[in-house]
Structure 1
Amino acid sequence: MNADQPVIQGAMPRDDAALEARLIAAIDPWLQHMRWRANYAAWREQRIYQERYQAARLQRLEELAGPLERLVVLDVGAGMGGFAVAAALRGATIAACEFNRAYCAIIRLRAARYNLRLPVYNAAGEALPFTDQSFDAIVSWDVIEHVRDPRQMLDEFWRVLVPGGVALVTVINRWAWNDPHYHLRGINYLPRAWAEALIARRGRTKQGVAFRDMQRLREMHYFSYGAFRRLARAHGFHLMDLRERDLLAGRLQSARPTRRAARALLRHVGLEHAAYRWQRQWYTGMFELALFKAG
């Protein structure tokens, strides 16, 4: 399924120009620090209509947890609400939990775009305001690197998941060659002070944006694959690398023809899986993982 295809089926946004103007005005100040992007206009458009670009993630959640209309889902670090709104439109019972108050307001406006009554909670991932075993699944993308205490957040995930539940998370590789936040190559191989000086020199800092979560490189939590796997196991989770799962199932796709050719050659000589694991250790920017709670 193409992640860039709209996922809204049978749900049309309200014809409300004033609401649209309020939503765009609320979103725009949080995008200005990224104006250096070459594709800024298209990137901004995807943030404004974020709920239309969630097909791949919705499909992933269904594959691992079951039909959306039967799931009770928690979106931790829901950001601007694109996934939460898309999941609700597809029939999931979903709550959005977000630390940034301004983002909470954006989520409510995005939900109002479709007349959705979506519960939104202003809370941190380390202190989820829910009772034990409340959710079938948790999604938490681009979040764990920003929290104060990743260990406490995993404790909370375990607590609020039902036995047999699953959390879908992304984790930034400590040895990412192209840093996913700053889009600069090689900075994770430099001392953090040097890397931050380079980030500032290239104009990639988030100064002037009122983020409350941790955004400086030295403050964020990056993990090697092995380190995060050990952390997940220590909290009682069974970890699955979702890209590795796709590779073994013959579903991992490469956008560039040269990469497709290289993978085909490695597959032919029986080294594709070994090459994937080497790349995961020393190059990959971000891990896409499922954490299963026994039950």
Structure 2
Amino acid sequence: MKTSSSPCVPASPRDERSPVPGDVLERYFELHAPELQTANLRERVLIEQRNLAKQDAIVDLVLDRLGPLDRPARVLDIGAGVGSMLRRMSQRGLQAHGVEPSVEQCRLAMAHLPAGKAGLVNAVGERLPYRDNTFDAVVSMSVLEHCRDQRLMLSEGVRVLRPGGIWYLVFPNYLFVWEPHYDLFWPPMLPRALKTFYVRLRGRDPRYLDELTFTTPGSMRRLLQGLPARVEDLGLDLFLARLRSTETISVPALARIVGTLRALGVLKPLEWAARLGVYHPVVWIIHKLETA
């Protein structure tokens, strides 16, 4: 990962009210590692990055947890990618800032971000170029598993939050039977050598496994120990909502499977397992303690 910290320069302006333009998303998908470039993943990228309803729901949740402010909330997106969430936050009137380690993705993002309304810096989550207590909120989705030093990223995210601020944090749960990058069903808890063998067995190139540091709720809670933070876990409610309505599932293949299981009337065992803590997706609100 790059460790530079430099501002990205905006290109020509686009329509500020629209989602990320399709040509930008196509180029964004082409920047993915070759072993990930499948039709299913392309479909998911297009759905996720243009999903304004989901982005609005995240903004609404953040604003609700923050409560009334006498100014626009100052929010940082760690791992801003092509800038879709950053763009939506600025459209909603937030003071939106982002960091992204990929120079190419920074350039793509700045091609459609409204000039002067969102800031984007080429930097990594383990070394945020901001002072302590700078932001009211931090947003980070599917980034933590890409960090080599996850404890440092967690520490940095908490550091730049003001006391009482919140961090909307989403990362894959590798206790589950789905690997979101390869878009494959996944036997959990395999050692790395068997993961490599399994990916090859499925006819895929395993090199991207080297880019991942596998995450679980338990391992991340241990890394948070000693930081001035409290975890609010939203994952169970989200998982149960997904079982009730496939419209909330952004992975098309999973949506089809859940729909089939519902039609067969066999979703209850999954609900019971989730309530027992066996699995649910990792969607956290990390609250920075007021005494920090």
TM-score normalised to structure 1 length? 0.73
- Are the equivalent residues in 2 in contact too, given 1:139–1:169 (CA < 8 A)? yes
Q: Counterpart in 2 of 1:132?
A: 132
- Are the equivalent residues in 2 in contact too, given 1:243–1:252 (CA < 8 A)? no
- Are the equivalent residues in 2 in contact too, given 1:49–1:82 (CA < 8 A)? yes
Q: Counterpart in 2 of 1:88?
A: 90
Q: 1:205 to 1:74 in 2, by over 3 A?
A: farther
* In structure 2, distance between residues paired with 1:141 and 1:52: 16
* In structure 2, distance between residues paired with 1:252 and 1:70: 35
Paired residue secondary structure (2:148)? coil
Structure 1 residue 148, shift from structure 2 partner:
1.4
User: Residue type of the partner of 2:57?
Assistant: A
Answer yes or no: is 1:275 the counterpart of 2:273.
yes
* In structure 1, distance between residues paired with 2:286 and 2:239: 18
User: Residue type of the partner of 2:154?
Assistant: L
Structure 1 residue 56, shift from structure 2 partner:
2.5
TM-score normalised to structure 2 length? 0.74
* Deviation per residue, 1:209-265 (Å, 9 max, x gap): xxxxxx425x522233233223223322111111335689x99844246559666x6
Q: 1:204 to 1:165 in 2, by over 3 A?
A: farther
Query: Among the aligned pairs, what percent are the same residue?
Result: 28
- Listed as ranges, the gaps of 5+ residues in structure 1 are 1-9, 208-214
* In structure 2, distance between residues paired with 1:115 and 1:253: 41
Structure 1 residue 197, shift from structure 2 partner:
2.8
Which moves more between the two structures, 43-52 or 79-88? 43-52
Answer yes or no: is 1:291 the counterpart of 2:286.
yes
Q: 1:228 to 1:45 in 2, by over 3 A?
A: closer
User: Residue type of the partner of 1:291?
Assistant: I
- Are the equivalent residues in 2 in contact too, given 1:179–1:187 (CA < 8 A)? no
Alignment RMSD, CA only? 3.6
- Are the equivalent residues in 2 in contact too, given 1:108–1:118 (CA < 8 A)? no
Paired residue secondary structure (2:225)? helix
User: Residue type of the partner of 1:276?
Assistant: A
* In structure 2, distance between residues paired with 1:135 and 1:196: 40
Larger RCO of the pair (alpha carbons < 8 Å, separation 6+): 2
Q: Counterpart in 2 of 1:58?
A: 59
Structure 1 residue 58, shift from structure 2 partner:
2.1
Structure 1 residue 117, shift from structure 2 partner:
3.9
- Are the equivalent residues in 2 in contact too, given 1:125–1:156 (CA < 8 A)? yes
Q: Counterpart in 2 of 1:143?
A: 143
Q: 1:222 to 1:132 in 2, by over 3 A?
A: same
User: Residue type of the partner of 1:231?
Assistant: L
* Deviation per residue, 1:149-174 (Å, 9 max, x gap): 01111111121110001111112223
Give the total of aligned pairs.
261
